[in-house]
């Protein structure tokens, strides 16, 4: 990105837990062609896919720390780039989490990956979904409950029972494709993949071609949600390589 492009690009900040698949964000920034700067800062805690640990990971104190780190980038909006660390709070609790994050970010618009899934499904007119979760069953069920509160019906729910985000981040591209494709359901309008620790962006177009339906993945919808918050979706052209969500009318 040239200096002039950097000056013109909108800046969105992402709080990412630990390290796993954060390279999806510079990949997305490249595909966006200089229209946005996607700043990523990290917070740290245990990476276990277990409810008590996830509640701690998404706590107000940890997210305030992340917002403080992002202040250097002066983002126009902030997104908590973690699905399980947001839906684990439930529908109402996740709203409170986002409100606290906005306050910690100086009143900037804020959201999380869990809300990004609901809004992306709404934008595409998706009503029924299959969920290809990497989590254990109890955590995956909480995501299905969250989607239901958002008006999205889960007609197929599967869990790979992977205990840590680090393990998810080490999955090969072939493993990721098989995990997702094998969890499709005939009655699903789309397949949802709720883990920001999973590298998916470079695989979405191929998956959609194979399945014949939209595939919404955690890092994909998180980037989309950040752009939505700053109004960048209204004027942006379609973006090849990031799936149906980024090719829809209005992009």
Give pLDDT, residue 4.
41
Kindly report the pTM of this predicted structure. 0.94
Q: Residue for token digits 């109890």?
A: 138
Q: Provide the mean pLDDT of the chain.
A: 93
User: pLDDT for 21-48, tens place per residue?
Assistant: 999 999 999 999 888 999 999 999 888 8
Q: Which CATH architecture has domain 124-217?
A: 3-Layer(aba) Sandwich (3.40)
Domain residues of the chain, as ranges?
3-115+220-242, 124-217
* Nearest alpha carbon to residue 16 among 198, 220, 196, 228: 196
The DSSP secondary-structure symbol of 237 reads P
Nearest to 195 by CA among 137, 132, 119: 132
pLDDT band at residue 240 using 50, 70 and 90 as cut-offs: confident
Residue 24's SS3 state is helix
Q: pLDDT tens, 123-171? A: 999 999 999 999 999 999 999 999 999 999 999 999 998 988 889 989 9
3 pLDDT higher than 70: no
Residues 6+ apart with CB under 8 A from 27: 201, 202
Mean pLDDT of 197-221: 97
Of 162, 226, 165, 194, nearest to 86 by C-alpha is 194
Q: Give the residues across from 78 on adjacent strands.
A: 13, 110
Residue 222 has pLDDT above 50, yes or no: yes
One fold for 3-115+220-242 and 124-217: yes
Q: How confident is the model at residue 8 (pLDDT cuts 50, 70, 90)?
A: low
Q: What is the percentage of the chain residues whose pLDDT exceeds 70?
A: 94
DSSP code of residue 18: S
Query: How many Å apart are CA 195 and CA 161, to the nearest integer?
Result: 12
Asked whether the predicted pLDDT for residue 5 surpasses 50, the reply is no
At residue 100, the pLDDT reads 98
Q: Given the structure tokens 């969500």, which residue do they identify?
A: 245
Please, which pLDDT band fits residue 235 given cuts at 50, 70 and 90?
low
Assign domain 3-115+220-242 to its CATH architecture.
3-Layer(aba) Sandwich (3.40)
């Amino acid at each position: 990105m040239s200096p002039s492009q950097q000056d013109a690009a909108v800046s969105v900040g992402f709080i990412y837990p630990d390290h796993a698949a954060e390279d999806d964000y510079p990949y997305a920034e490249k595909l966006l062609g200089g229209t946005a700067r996607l700043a990523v800062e990290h917070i740290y805690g245990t990476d276990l896919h277990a409810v008590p640990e996830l509640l701690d990971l998404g706590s107000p104190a940890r997210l305030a720390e992340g917002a403080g780190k992002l202040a250097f980038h002066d983002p126009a909006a902030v997104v908590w780039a973690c699905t399980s660390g947001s839906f684990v709070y439930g529908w109402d609790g996740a709203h409170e989490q986002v409100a606290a994050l906005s306050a910690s970010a100086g009143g900037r618009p804020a959201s999380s990956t869990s809300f990004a899934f609901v809004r992306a499904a709404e934008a595409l007119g998706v009503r029924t979904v299959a969920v290809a979760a990497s989590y254990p069953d109890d955590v995956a069920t909480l995501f299905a409950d969250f989607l239901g509160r958002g008006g999205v019906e889960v007609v197929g729910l599967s869990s790979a029972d992977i205990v840590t985000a680090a393990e998810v981040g080490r999955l090969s591209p072939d493993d990721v494709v098989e995990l997702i494709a094998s969890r499709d359901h005939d009655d699903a309008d789309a397949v949802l993949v709720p883990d920001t620790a999973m590298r998916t962006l470079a695989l979405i177009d191929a998956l959609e071609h194979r399945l014949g339906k939209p595939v919404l993945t955690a890092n994909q919808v998180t980037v989309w949600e950040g752009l939505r918050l700053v109004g960048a979706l209204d004027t942006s052209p379609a973006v090849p390589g990031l799936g149906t969500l980024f090719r829809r009318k209005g992009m």
